[in-house]
Structure 1
Amino acid sequence: MMFAKKRKKTLELSPDEIFLDSKNLPGFDRNQMEGRLVMLLSRRVALFVFLFFAIISFIMLGKLWNLQISHGATFRERAFFNSFDKHVLSPERGIIYDRNGEELAWNEARFKIVIDADKKDALEQIPDALRVQFFPKFSFDAFEKASDAPAVIIDDLSWESAERFIEAFPAVPFRIEASSARTYTDRSGFSHLLGYVGRSSDEPSSATKSGKTGVEKYYDLLLRGVDGVRLVETDAKNNIVSESLQQEAENGEALTLTIDADAQSKLYSAIGDVVEQYGFHGGAGVVVDVRTGEILAMTSYPEFNLNNFSHGISQEEFSRLNNDPHAPFFARVFNGTYIPGSIFKPIVALAALDKGIISPEKEIFSSGSISVPNPYFPDQPSIFRDWKAHGWVDMVRAIAVSSDVYFYTIGGGYGNQEGIGASAIERYAKLFGFGEPVFSGIDEARGMVPSPEHAEEWRIGDTYHFSIGQNNLQVTPIQVARFVSMLAEHGKVPDLHFVEEPDEARSVVTAYPLPDVVVLDEDFSIIQEGMALAAKPGGTAQALAGLGVDFGAKTGTAEIGNGRVNSWIMGYAPLNDPHVAMTVVLESGSETNLVGAASVSRTFMQWFIQHMPEYVK
């Protein structure tokens, strides 16, 4: 027994003692919560938590009772009879200004009558006779095929007119919405440039109008902004129960044009006075700052009232304008194609100098005509007449007096003088942009430059006529404005534009890329010397003499048949440091008429020198 082991006495340890003893352990880490006692929640805290969740549950049960039991029938009826409609919020269209900040196109507060697509069946209650009377511009057939968007039945109403309209059709759930009417300046000369807005032909029931012509069309995306959307709940009686804004409308951006409103109106009136007094069919004019390419004025005559289109034009008035033989809808600056006549001669002269076939000092005798053998009738030579006998003329004087014989000779050749030929004339005409548009991004005619290579038959007479700007050559006024600017700047192509800002707008309509014409400066100087002499007494552009400013200019009288002619003038000033260039064409006047585009240019430049002297001094 003495060898028996003693039993070890074990001690029972409580958790508290363990945690207390742990404080003496080396490496004890308090950040890991070692040595902390975990305390149970008190009964008070547990009771508070229980009461909180009980109250929340009671509130939710009460709300559910209210929705499902107390007012369940009301809300079921509302859900059944009420409807939700998306109302388009039309943005304010951007304002168009002239270069001096004068408003040319703006918006006036008006009202429109609208009906939701899901209520279109109510339109059947309107008799056909009243449809024609009250809705002459609305297409019911198109509306029936349209989407679920609300449709504008009629717009541009005063509040009083809108209320009377609603009262006239009490059974139809029409509603009145705020709108705006595009309004344009009452100054003359802006119709073709500004254009107008109207409903989209693809979406006749749409509330938002889009640009149809002119600047309103070219810059439509910038001007019109972005539609907004409002969700509206209405009851069975068409009363608004609730509404919420889903997307706010974004107004369009403003545009500032390079156009001077005073110069534009003056140019238009100067053209109009001569057209009406001397029997022309119409006319157009362009004024350009050759240093910057800014277009200061650009107008076509005749025009039409823009506000009639914006506020509503009758079918009778539209038919009258559309059938007018003077074509008031025709934007002649961009789309009028005309035979240029003698304003084309500087190109032939420049080509002859550049190719070295004649010196500017060499004289050619003009007896009033030249004749060449007729291969079909040898006893009847073909005669090509000058507009008068000029005697001996060198290149400078030939430009000044516009000698046809001189340009027949250097163009097609005659006697011992070699001509440059029709193909060279074609090439130089295209170098100066004829046959190409002036702008990219707008509707514009290209005109036509005849080509001997593509003609079925080309004879020497065709080259003679080509040399003096006749034949099938067709140019636009805006092309001639670019051309005369290039002559003023020794071949440099102007960056023509008619919008100043914003910068994004300049990328919508851009100048057509055309390389500069590389010809010796002394050759350009010869052309300019001839145009300077033309604008002095005795020259064809002497109408610009005596205004206190020296001009370089060239006139043209283009025969178009039946005793009718187009009258042209192009020019620039001041002579030694050109700032401004001008082009005017008068369409289809009598060939016996001695008053034409030169008279327009004098009237306008007298005003221009007085009111805008910074461009000519």
Structure 2
Amino acid sequence: MVVVLGALSLLSAVAQTATEPVEPAPSIVDPASGSGGSVAAASAKPSGGNPAVAIAKPAGADVAGVVARPKNGEGLEGSVTGRKDARTMTLSIPAPRGQITDRHGEPFAQTKVVWYPALKFGQFEKADRSYVIDWGRKRIQQANELFGIQWNVSDEALWQHYRHRRWLAMPVTCVVDKTKRNEVQSKLMQGLILHPVYMRYYPQGKCAAHIIGYTGSAGKLEKGPINYGDPIFERAEGRAGLEMIFNKELTGKEGLLRQDYEADGSLVLKKYEKRPQPGGTIVTSLDMNWQKHAESVLKRYCDRGAFVVIDIHTGEVMAMASRPGFDLNDFVPFISTEKYEALKNDPGTPLFARAFQGGYPPASTFKPVVAITALSNGEIHEHSLIDCPAKIKIGNTWMHNWSKSPEGYIDVKRAIARSCNPWFYQVGIKTGPTAFLSVARRLGFGSKTGLPLVGETEGLIPNNQWMIKHHKRKMLDGDTANLAIGQGVMLASPLQVAQGMAGIANGGALPKLRLVKQVQRANGRVLVSNDPERRNFLNLDPQAVNIVHEGMMQVVHAGYGTGKRGKLSYTVLCGKTGTAQWGPKSKNQRLAWFAGFFPLENPRYAFAALYEGKPNERLSGGRKAAPMVSAFFEHFKKEIKKAITPPPRAMVIEEEGDEDDGRLLDDGPAPRAIPVEEDEDDGIIPSGDDPRPLRAIAVEEDEDEVPRNQNGRRPLRAIPVEEDE
């Protein structure tokens, strides 16, 4: 549980215009906005245009132009005509913005106190226009020299601020940290101050940038006569991501500060009429270490890609990374036009959240959906054998296997392991697009996940109506064949693919995904807690689910599987590789996928890894995406083993003979299975046609034992592109 502490200790820092603000508490940190305060005053302008006394009208004031008698004898008392330069005002103090944290309380977004250079006018005896402007220009010049800025203020702005708002600081947006403040404090001319403000800060920089979002100013400071509730510095508001979606919960409640000034400009009363209440804390489901490592793996293995991990039991998103990204701190207190244009025009599109905004052909990661539908509907059975030549003519088009080689008669499990296109062409047409696309929709394809994400794609699962609208015809067998291998017009995000794998792993229901675990008050009280839920039932045959699980296990652990590089040393992983054409044909660009879940028994984690290929780059899911998965999960081997290992159970064995032959409840933990030594072959399941019984422990695959063409070379890819070995 994370609690924002010390907010009240910051109030004197942000409310005063002195240069010695109170230091922030550790949980209050940096960037974008600064909250503000407000001022209250009613102004009257006598004839002649000279400024009149601007005095607040508190409750109970019933005589125009006269300050009501202060309660308890505090504050100023006087008349407009007698105390023309006196002021009483009530300013609003924007509350510290709440935190956004990971599941363990590690902060993604915080608020801290920084300082802005500011002018603080006094009450001048000779307050003519030229004197005020000259006074301000000298201090602006010093600020530009000390802080290396270009503070440009018009003469009219200086004069009008003195006339109407000289009791308040006139800041420039230039962040001064504590070190710089201590360095220049003694050098400042009288009237040039460092004005404390709240600013948003993102301590993790780029980490989860597309999810967390950033803040910006909710509006410039007021000009002209002071009004009740004017902020003492600019308010902040969420502009993207969770910062925007949960802006209300993060904003908190503003406070009110009353200040009374004598005619000579001296402060005679400073009273907090209402303390600001810090914003709440948004506790995400993300694990900071997992998120950072996911981004590190993407950086190591690809220039552009995405990685998503979901807890199948709870539906929680543990990590969701997109590459490239950007530093959230670039947006606070504001981002320059030049820097923003550079981000927008970057060919890598760093502002684009590939993990949930990108729509891609799911390619062969979709094949388990077709297989599970065909099995559930009785179109095929576990041991049904289907002849798979190197190519099949559908209509007037020849559609190829990825290897350009025939696979012969194979069953569903080998078809999944080999990612055999001809098998899925035929079974997809036999099953029918209505059937397997309906299952796809129940697995979450073609609709948003419901997570609090900005710009999430729905993906695309077509139907006849869509085809008629966009292609002026109904779906044909060629369309069905393409859809059966996850290509054609079908689109899905990495998040949707991972969600679909979570549904296949569960087998009975699709878990409702969660990105936010709790919304807390600043004191830690839980306002909203999201518990695990079911999104919808899948209505799949349990035996069909088990068969597909075994086929996906063979993808990784069989000698002939296409995803051997994704295996883990400590558990049995079920996966599916995928490779697809993507983007404009002129670029000859491809995608590589590896998605799945583990362990085989009682699956806990589902995942999807995406690799965006460069133009003309030759790639496959097995070679490019699968290694990212093993690199990620091996890093957390100890932690994950603990999470997926079932608790030890006691054993009671009834024996007719000696009592010592059995185990009692208090005899210690139940014995564990002994790993079976593997024969010297290419994996749990050999490359031959007759599979042997499954074994408990996977062995390392011999990368050289892969199918070859007659000329001894590895087979060339055909169009559509699929896995190679």
Of 476, 480, 483, 1:463 maps to: 480
What does residue 306 of structure 1 align with?
Answer: 328
Distance change (3 Å), C-alpha of 1:484 and 1:73? closer
Distance change (3 Å), C-alpha of 1:577 and 1:111? same
SS across alignment from 1:156: coil
What does residue 625 of structure 2 align with?
Answer: 597
Shift of 1:546: 5.4
What does residue 157 of structure 1 align with?
Answer: 176
What does residue 246 of structure 2 align with?
Answer: 219
What does residue 107 of structure 1 align with?
Answer: 111
What does residue 294 of structure 2 align with?
Answer: 267
Structure 2: gaps spanning 5 or more residues: 1-75, 124-128, 223-230, 646-725
The 1-side partners of 2:528 and 2:568 are apart by 42
Distance change (3 Å), C-alpha of 1:302 and 1:106? same
Shift of 1:164: 7.2
Of 604, 612, 615, 2:640 maps to: 612
Q: Is the 8 A contact 1:90 1:179 kept in 2?
A: no
Q: Is the 8 A contact 2:509 2:535 kept in 1?
A: no
The 2-side partners of 1:421 and 1:506 are apart by 47
Distance change (3 Å), C-alpha of 1:543 and 1:247? same
After the TM superposition, which of the residue ranges 229-238 and 391-400 deviates more from structure 2?
A: 229-238
Q: Is the 8 A contact 1:492 1:516 kept in 2?
A: yes
What does residue 518 of structure 1 align with?
Answer: 539
Q: Is the 8 A contact 2:598 2:605 kept in 1?
A: yes
* 1:108-147 mapped onto 2 (5 Å cutoff): 108-112=112-116, 133-134=150-151
What does residue 454 of structure 1 align with?
Answer: 466
Distance change (3 Å), C-alpha of 1:74 and 1:355? closer
The 2-side partners of 1:241 and 1:83 are apart by 10
Q: Structure 1, residues 260-308: CA drift from partner, whole Å, max 9, x if none?
A: 21111111111121114xxxxx111111111112222111111111222
Task: Check if 1:586 corresponds to 2:604.
Answer: no
Task: Check if 1:425 corresponds to 2:451.
Answer: no
Q: Is the 8 A contact 1:440 1:511 kept in 2?
A: no
Q: Structure 1, residues 331-355: CA drift from partner, whole Å, max 9, x if none?
A: 1222111111011111111221222
What does residue 257 of structure 1 align with?
Answer: 284
What does residue 547 of structure 1 align with?
Answer: 569
The 1-side partners of 2:527 and 2:411 are apart by 44
Distance change (3 Å), C-alpha of 1:351 and 1:612? closer
Task: Check if 1:333 corresponds to 2:358.
Answer: no
Query: Which one-letter code corresponds to 1:197 in the other structure?
Result: T
Aligned length: 517
After the TM superposition, which of the residue ranges 432-441 and 390-399 deviates more from structure 2?
A: 432-441
Distance change (3 Å), C-alpha of 1:571 and 1:426? closer
Task: Check if 1:485 corresponds to 2:502.
Answer: yes
SS across alignment from 2:271: strand
SS across alignment from 1:437: coil
* 1:357-396 mapped onto 2 (5 Å cutoff): 357-374=379-396, 382-388=397-403, 389=405, 390-396=407-413
Largest Rg, 1 or 2: 1
The 1-side partners of 2:533 and 2:450 are apart by 5
What does residue 196 of structure 1 align with?
Answer: 214
What does residue 79 of structure 1 align with?
Answer: 83
Query: Which one-letter code corresponds to 2:254 in the other structure?
Result: D
Task: Check if 1:243 corresponds to 2:270.
Answer: yes
Distance change (3 Å), C-alpha of 1:162 and 1:508? farther
The 1-side partners of 2:189 and 2:487 are apart by 64
Shift of 1:532: 0.8
Q: Structure 1, residues 401-445: CA drift from partner, whole Å, max 9, x if none?
A: 111111110112xxxxxx122232332221211111111543221
Task: Check if 1:532 corresponds to 2:553.
Answer: yes
Shift of 1:383: 0.5
SS across alignment from 2:535: coil
Q: Is the 8 A contact 1:113 1:162 kept in 2?
A: no
Structure 1: gaps spanning 5 or more residues: 1-71, 277-281, 375-381, 413-418
What does residue 209 of structure 1 align with?
Answer: 236
Distance change (3 Å), C-alpha of 1:73 and 1:302? closer
What does residue 17 of structure 2 align with?
Answer: none
Q: Structure 1, residues 522-573: CA drift from partner, whole Å, max 9, x if none?
A: 1111111111111113212211235231011111112113321111111111
Shift of 1:166: 13
Q: Is the 8 A contact 1:569 1:584 kept in 2?
A: yes
With normalisation by structure 2, the TM-score equals: 0.64
The 1-side partners of 2:501 and 2:437 are apart by 18
What does residue 7 of structure 1 align with?
Answer: none
Structure richer in helix, relative to its length = 1
Q: Is the 8 A contact 1:491 1:516 kept in 2?
A: yes
SS across alignment from 1:612: helix
The 2-side partners of 1:249 and 1:363 are apart by 71
With normalisation by structure 1, the TM-score equals: 0.75
The 2-side partners of 1:503 and 1:74 are apart by 46
Q: Is the 8 A contact 1:110 1:178 kept in 2?
A: yes
The 1-side partners of 2:197 and 2:77 are apart by 39
Shift of 1:113: 5.7
Shift of 1:324: 0.8
Q: Is the 8 A contact 1:437 1:512 kept in 2?
A: no
The 1-side partners of 2:595 and 2:477 are apart by 28
Distance change (3 Å), C-alpha of 1:478 and 1:507? farther
The 1-side partners of 2:295 and 2:570 are apart by 23
After the TM superposition, which of the residue ranges 299-308 and 180-189 deviates more from structure 2?
A: 180-189
The 2-side partners of 1:211 and 1:474 are apart by 30
* 1:46-85 mapped onto 2 (5 Å cutoff): 79-85=83-89
The 1-side partners of 2:527 and 2:576 are apart by 32
Task: Check if 1:495 corresponds to 2:512.
Answer: yes
Q: Structure 1, residues 455-484: CA drift from partner, whole Å, max 9, x if none?
A: 112332111111111111111111112111
Task: Check if 1:407 corresponds to 2:418.
Answer: no
Identity of aligned residues (%): 25
Q: Is the 8 A contact 2:314 2:533 kept in 1?
A: no
Query: Which one-letter code corresponds to 1:295 in the other structure?
Result: V
Query: Which one-letter code corresponds to 1:90 in the other structure?
Result: P
Query: Which one-letter code corresponds to 1:104 in the other structure?
Result: F
Q: Structure 1, residues 353-409: CA drift from partner, whole Å, max 9, x if none?
A: 2222222311112221101342xxxxxxx1001102322221111111111111110
Q: Is the 8 A contact 2:205 2:329 kept in 1?
A: no
What's the RMSD between the two structures over aligned residues? 3.8
